[in-house]
Structure 1
Amino acid sequence: MKSDNGLYTEVQTRIQSFGHLVVSTLDLQIIAVSEHVSALTDQLRVHETGTSLADFVRRCFGEAATRILTAIHEISTFQSPRKLILHNLRDRVYYINIYVFQNRLYMEWEQQEHEAILAAEMNEIGFLFEQNLYDAWSSLCFSIQKLLGFHQVAILQVAETGGSRVIAEACTAPYPVLLHTEFSEAYMSADIQAHYMGRAYLYTPDIDAETQMVETTEHIDLSPCLFKQFPAEHAFYMRSIQVVSALFLPIIIDNRFWGLVIAHHFESRRIDLQKRKLCSFIVQNAASKQAGLNKQRRLEHLADIKHAERELKSALSESKTIHAGLIRNIHTLAKLTRADGVAIYFQGENVAFGLSPNEAQLEEIITLFKQQTRRPLWKDYNFREKRALEISSAIPFAGLMVLQLNDMDDHYLVWFRKESVNRVLQIDQQDARSSVPRSEWGEAVPSFVIWERTVRNTAIPWDEHDISYALSVHNLINETIVNKSKENDRLHDELISLNNELEMLTFTLSHDLKNPLSIVKMGVQYMVEKKDVSAEQQQKWGETLLKGIADIENLVQNAVQLCQSKTYEYAKEPTPMASTIRSLCQEAQLVHNNPNCVFQLGKLHAICGEKSVLYQIFLNVIGNAVKYTSAHQAPQIAIDSVQDENWVTYQVEDNGIGIPSEHLPHVFDLFVRASNATTFDGTGVGLGLVRRIMDRLGGHISLCSELHKGTKVTMVFPRDCR
């Protein structure tokens, strides 16, 4: 680096002691030299940076200089990406590694430990060629352990949350087992991942050995250097468990940092460069195998999702409403997201399966969701940890995922996951304000503490498979809504056609019945007015009357048969009632001029039925209750429901005028009204119509009443929607 006076100032950094490093510009001017280079060659001193790399090679490497310089020329002119040369120096064989990084030429060398890799050692990679490999990581651990002769080899996987976990291991007794150990986010932070990215491995024969200084005239990036030191957090952890030698190999899958192969030895051990390269090759191939396996599993999962989508699509299409179709598939909705419970929220009512909160808590969750900007999906694996204080009482789950199904209908799917209690190793750097130890060269040495933390109030995170399925449900429902809209348009057209047919039927009956009715009328009048009708005339008019009556009978019978052929079958679906009943109560107060009527609403369960006919039932029952309490000084109406395994029972009770006991047996007859109801508007049709609808729904209605005290109507609906 140039100082203010234009002179170069030497910058120091450090690498491990088992190698040697020289860095030059592409025009071969040396800009960095490691400390041990001068001790090895006696040809280049640390303070001699700026000399020619070509001159140094000629002076240092003797007969091999020409071959090395040829390689340097090919590398510096980008004719070749990298060169590895074997060279005998002072009766020892060295690997000389030459490459270019960021327009700087790196030349590094280290001593050879073994001449060749044995055939028996090559057999250890045989697992890579197996066709059906479903446990690549365990096989990888045992193979690398045998190749290196290390005490311990483990696979550390980094989760999307930032934490990491040991998922496979080969360990020799009596050394500590790491399998299932979990580390906090700090152990594999983004900076530490970057430390390993772009390199085949990181290795140390002795983590406690003294490092060597690299003196340079400018900043040098040591990212690709074979002798780079381990991240301070990893070095600290290894020392804490008494590891001496280590080899870490990054696992890259789908261009993403997936994890690390961690090889530990509890004694100093040198591993030859070629063997380290073989380990790197094994890891890369195992990662490729795992990537293929991941793809296969994704395809299998996608096939499961597609199958579930077809079933859900069929259920949604066959069901009268989206809500009913979801209820029928609630078990599948939970299974394919690996949730412990799921709730379907629709207009203030919910249907739940498995682990779920109470109704009040679900309302609060939906309110929180509406405050989010990320729609239609909101996921949080540590919801209880972050949001518990925003919920009214203790919640039984730890993680959730909310999917908004339709912006207009207030319709949501909410999945829940239970708490997963974990013990996590935490490695924290000590407070910077405390005294910081320094090396003999005056550099600050990071100081850490390691401790175990129990993590609660979190769940297993939602992964890409869970999210993809949830979004597929969202897309499927939107598609179904469009299809149902088209179906509704078709049904609307059919209804118009049926209405036209009904209108034609009405005109036909009114016209065609005139003639036989006129004949019957004339015959009756004749028979009444004529006192001395002969037997012949009686016979004639009798036949005429019978003919007219037969014609009327045929016309009516034909009309009935036509109507029966057009009969509409009620589609029974789970239908929320709370919103409908509240609206009917308000409307009835206005229609019957009873604004002071007080409603006491209890639990209003969903009913299996068609929304339009259920509306018709409660319109009549609630309307009667409001109408016949309008004369009371303090009108009150109570509406409540209960349910068991087979039935949903509703009761509507008022404090109105009541019904005389003699009229109770006839209250469901058409056109029949109680004697004390004549001052109120009405036709006597309502309750009769309600009973006929209840019969067709498979339910039943009953009524008890006491004069001047009020009436209680009880309606029992079947829970089975088939």
Structure 2
Amino acid sequence: MTTQQLYNTTYDLTNCDAEPLRFIRSCQDLAVMIVVYADTLLIKAVSENAAERFSTPVAELLGADAGAVLGEEAGNTLRSLASAADLSAANPVELLTDGPAGYLRENLIVHREGELLILEIEPRSKDFGSTASLMRIDKAVGNIQNSVATKENVFDITVREVRAITGYDRVYLYRFDDEYNGQVIAETKRDEMQTFLHLRYPHTDIPQQARELYLSQQIRQVTSTRENSASLLITDDDQPINLRQASNRGVSPIHQEYLRAMGVGASMSIAVVVENRLWGLIACHHNADRLVDYRMRQLLGFFGRVLSGHLTLQQNTVHQTNVLANSLIRARLVEKMGATTNLMTPLLENQDELMNLAGATGAALIIDGKIKRIGLCPEESELAQLVTFITDKQKKLYATSRLHDEFPAAKQFTAAPAGMVSIRTATSPEEYIFWFRPEIVTTLSWGGRPEDRKVIEEGRVRLSPLLSFENYSETKRGKAEPWAQYQLDGVLALGNDIREIILVQYQNMKQVNDQLVSAYAELESFSYTVSHDLRAPLRTIKGFAEILTEDYADKLDEAGQQVLGFIITHVDKMHDLLNGILEFSRMGSSMIKPENVKIAALVKNVWADVGGPESDVTLRTNFSTPTLPGDYTLLWQLFLNLLTNAVKYRRTDIDSFVEISSHLVGEEVIITVEDNGIGFDMKYAGQIFAVFNRLVPEDEYEGTGVGLAIAHRIVERHHGQISVTSELGSGTTFTVSIPANLTQRLAKQKAPAFE
């Protein structure tokens, strides 16, 4: 019987995955199949072997009343079942036929398929006793349940019990992996038979459409692998019928040929389904034809459900344990991140927790323009390539255990990770957390070489007649251990937590910023008030003091003249102080307009304003980095204060100099302003940037104590840092660092961008 007879198309190994098994036009020859219209019981289709069973030609059976063909009692039963929604409870119907040798007892199995009833008539075992069989099943199930308590291998117990009940020569448990390649994980057999234990078989051995049928029909029996062991199904309109529920549906010739190559005469498979996915099969093989009574087959289905329940419970228990542990890790990380404004610090301080969250051996953080590597991790330049690769994917979460296939360049990376998970926590700028796993080199034992299974004969691809199932070892590379779902869920949840923390921090920062804006506005208003209200009286005081000096100096003694001089001097100092207060208050309210400022030109202009060219101080410059990102006006004020400070506190007993240099360190532009002036004791370094703080006597050096505070404020507004080192009598060095990516830093002051 060819596939052309069974289907409208010829199928071989090139297209067997498309073979429409549920529409096969045949039934196994041990059974007779009849398809009738549910409302009339008129026969629509019948298997060819029905002609012998009912001593009536097939042509006469088509269109006949099934009740008349099967007998009055069977006809009445069918009419009562015709409108029933669920027929499973009625199966099997005992069919009694009076013959020369007495009553013939058969099983009549009824299935509904739309408007049709599919009837299967198969032999009924006289040895099957329901009570005894139930007791045997009950005992076997008890043994399986006890194996859980005694920690015996439940898989070994299961196959042993199934074989004891069914009498098959071999029973084994076949488990699918994520790609539906199968592996024999438990086996019991006759001693002389070749073992299949631990061998693997490719997913093509049980194609997708066959796996799908197991989800709707838990048990599949092949009573014989003999050639021509099927009977064609003849229909009244030559159209295929969906036989997905039929127990005796015909067998694919390709599958029969495969079983014969294994030396199998008959087989039965019991599906093990976990969470609506085909987990595996309890497979039974026999060297000769074998039929298991329908009633026993249904009881055996209970084995599959018991094992499915055990596996579901076990997986759920493990899953819940892992989810709980994972949630606790994430909770600890979130708590620590929420207590600081720097998200990277708690993640770096808890590296083990971060990697345990995903079960990784390495990780990388790309946050706030900085990259931190943990454990077995690619280099920074390699991470940049991965960022480009992930950005193109436009995914919040990306996970793979085959990175070498999806991104071949990763094979050459440091540590060459084969597994990777990444989450994107922000998009402006791009921020990521990566987790990595190494490649696992595994040796797989196959039941023969998969590529040796096919031969071409007369233009048709078929199984090799020399098909071998001997152990064949193969080494697999380029794959990491797959990421568990609870790990991916934990990683994704952490990403959401980080976004929420950033948003809360942004809202808090915005609230504080609004308060600062209000405070700065009030301060500026106050400063203008001070400037206006106090300057007028000061000008009056100074004016009258100057009048006294000009008109009445000769009438005052020396002490009086000194008092007048003292008044004028301190009025000038008060005027300078008011100007300093006003300037300091403006530092917090002005908008920063960043640009690439040419350092040499800026320093030249500032030096001229300071009066440096006319002083006895030498200016030295060394600009390795020619530009500095920032607001020109504010940077001008910064250099003005630093250079003024250097000139003011110079030493007069030596050749004084001030040297300004610039260079790039990582992503920071470093500016140093060094002089050989009077210096100061470093124990006062913590006070030098405070407002109105002076480390020198007022009568020796002019100043208000505001200049360096202004410099400090300017650097802060540029997201930078300023520090000082000094030695009393030897000089002082101010070091300023400003981010090279200042524009991006300032952009982050806006609302954070998430996916």
- Alpha-carbon distance in structure 1 between the residues aligned to 2:604 and 2:439: 54
CA offsets 1:200-256 (integer angstroms, 9 cap, x no match):
211124434641222413223332222235556655554444344322122333334
Q: Tell me the residue number matched to 2:748.
A: none
**Superposed displacement of residue 597, structure 1:** 4.4
Return the structure number with greater relative CO, CA threshold 8 A, min gap 6. 2
Change in 2 beyond 3 A, CA 1:508/1:13: closer
Given that 1:342 and 1:354 are in contact with CA atoms closer than 8 Å, whether structure 2 keeps it comes out as yes
The residue matched to 1:455 in structure 2 has which SS? Answer: strand
Alignment match, 1:77: 83
Task: Judge conservation of contact 2:453–2:464 (CA < 8 Å) in 1.
Answer: yes
Q: How does 1:154-193 map to 2 (within 5 A)?
A: 154-160=172-178, 162-166=179-183, 168-172=185-189, 174=191, 175=193, 178=196, 180-193=198-211
Say which SS state the counterpart of residue 24 (structure 1) adopts: strand
User: In the superposition, relative to structure 1, how do residues 487 and 268 fare at CA in structure 2: closer, same or farther (>3 Å)?
Assistant: same
Q: How many residues align?
A: 598
Q: Using the alignment, how far apart are the partners of 2:309 and 2:427 within structure 1?
A: 43
> Match of 2:382, SS?
helix
Q: Which residue of 1 aligns with 2:138?
A: 122
Contact 1:154 1:166 in 2 (8 A): no
Q: Does the Cα contact within 8 Å between 1:23 and 1:105 map onto a contact in 2?
A: yes
Do the aligned partners of 1:12 and 1:216 also contact (CA within 8 Å) in 2? Answer: no
* Residue 460 of structure 1, CA deviation: 2.8
Match of residue 109 from structure 2: 97
TM-score (norm 1): 0.66
The 3 A distance-change label for structure 1 pair 349 and 503 is: closer
**Pair 1:311–1:152, CA change in 2 (3 A):** farther
Aligned partner of 2:496 in structure 1 is 475
In the aligned structure 1, how far is the partner of 2:496 from the partner of 2:407?
29
Change (3 A) 1:280 1:703: farther
Displacement of 1:198 after TM fit? 1.4
Q: Report the secondary structure of 1:94's partner residue.
A: strand
Q: Please show how residues 593-612 of structure 1 align to structure 2 within 5 Å.
A: 597-599=623-625
Secondary structure in 2 matching 1:371: helix
Aligned residue number for residue 428 of structure 2:
408
Q: Is the 8 A contact 1:36 1:212 kept in 2?
A: no
Q: Secondary structure at the match of 1:421?
A: strand
Paired with 2:489 and 2:518, the residues of 1 have a C-alpha distance of 43
| Alignment partner of 1:222 is 2:239 | no
Q: Deviations over 1:356-388 (max 9, x none)?
A: 22211111011011111x421222221102321
Displacement of 1:399 in angstroms is: 2.0
Identity over aligned pairs, percent? 16
Residues 352-367 of structure 1 mapped to structure 2, 5 A cutoff: 352-367=373-388
| 1:525-571 residue CA offsets vs partner (Å, 9 max, x unmatched) | 9xxx99899xxxxxxx9xxxxxxxxxxxxxxxxxxxxxxxxxxxxxx
The CA distance in 2 between the partners of 1:641 and 1:661, in whole Å, is: 29
Query: For the Cα contact (< 8 Å) 1:153–1:261, is it kept in 2?
Result: yes
In 1: Cα distance, 2:329 partner to 2:556 partner: 81
Map 1:199-214; keep pairs closer than 5 Å.
Answer: 199-208=217-226, 210-214=228-232
Q: 1:315 aligns with which of 322, 336, 358?
A: 336
Q: Is the 8 A contact 1:384 1:395 kept in 2?
A: no
Q: Which residue of 2 aligns with 1:340?
A: 361
* Whole-angstrom CA distance in 2 between matches of 1:636 and 1:699: 15
Q: Are the aligned partners of 1:401 and 1:416 in contact in 2 as well (CA < 8 Å)?
A: yes
Q: How does 1:686-697 map to 2 (within 5 A)?
A: none
Structure 1 residues 86-111: Cα deviation after superposition (integer angstroms, max 9, x where no partner): 34555654222122223222221222
| CA–CA distance in structure 2, aligned partners of residues 362 and 311 of structure 1 | 27
State which of 410, 414, 435 in structure 1 corresponds to 2:458: 435
Is 1:262 the equivalent of 2:279? no
CA pair 182-503 structure 1, distance change in 2 beyond 3 A: farther
Which residue of the other structure, out of 377, 384, 392, is the alignment partner of 2:404?
Answer: 384
- Report how far residue 178 of structure 1 moved: 4.6
Which of 263, 281, 289 is residue 302 of structure 2 equivalent to? 281
Task: Name stretches of at least 5 consecutive residues in structure 2 with no aligned partner.
Answer: 1-22, 550-554, 564-593, 606-620, 628-633, 648-659, 697-704, 738-755
Could you state the TM-score of these two structures normalised by the residue count of structure 2? 0.63
User: Within 5 A, what are the aligned runs for 1:223-262?
Assistant: 223-229=244-250, 235=256, 238-262=259-283
Paired with 1:15 and 1:139, the residues of 2 have a C-alpha distance of 33
**In structure 2, which of residues 22, 46, 70 is the aligned counterpart of residue 33 of structure 1?**
46
* Equivalence for 1:43: 55
Q: Are the counterparts in 1 of residues 43 and 64 from structure 2 also a CA contact under 8 Å?
A: yes
Instruction: State the Cα distance separating 1:433 from its structure 2 match.
Output: 6.8
CA distances 1:98-148 after superposition (whole Å, capped 9, x unpaired): 222232222212223432216244311126767978976555444323333
Q: Which residue, out of 26, 31, 42, partners 1:14? A: 26
Q: Find the aligned partners of 1:700 and 1:292 in 2 and give their Cα distance.
A: 62
State the shift of 1:22 in Å: 2.2
Report the 3-state secondary structure (helix = DSSP H, G, I; strand = E; otherwise coil) of the residue aligned with 2:440: coil
Relative to structure 1, the CA distance from residue 419 to residue 182 in structure 2 (aligned partners, 3 Å threshold; closer, same or farther) is farther
The aligned counterpart of 1:564 is none
Question: Which one of the candidate residues 418, 434, 449 is aligned to 1:398?
Answer: 418
Contact 1:44–1:56 at 8 Å: present in 2 too?
Answer: no
The alpha-carbon deviation at position 293 of structure 1 amounts to 4.2
Superposed CA RMSD in Å reads 5.6
Residues 639-678 of structure 1 aligned to structure 2 (within 5 Å): 639-640=664-665
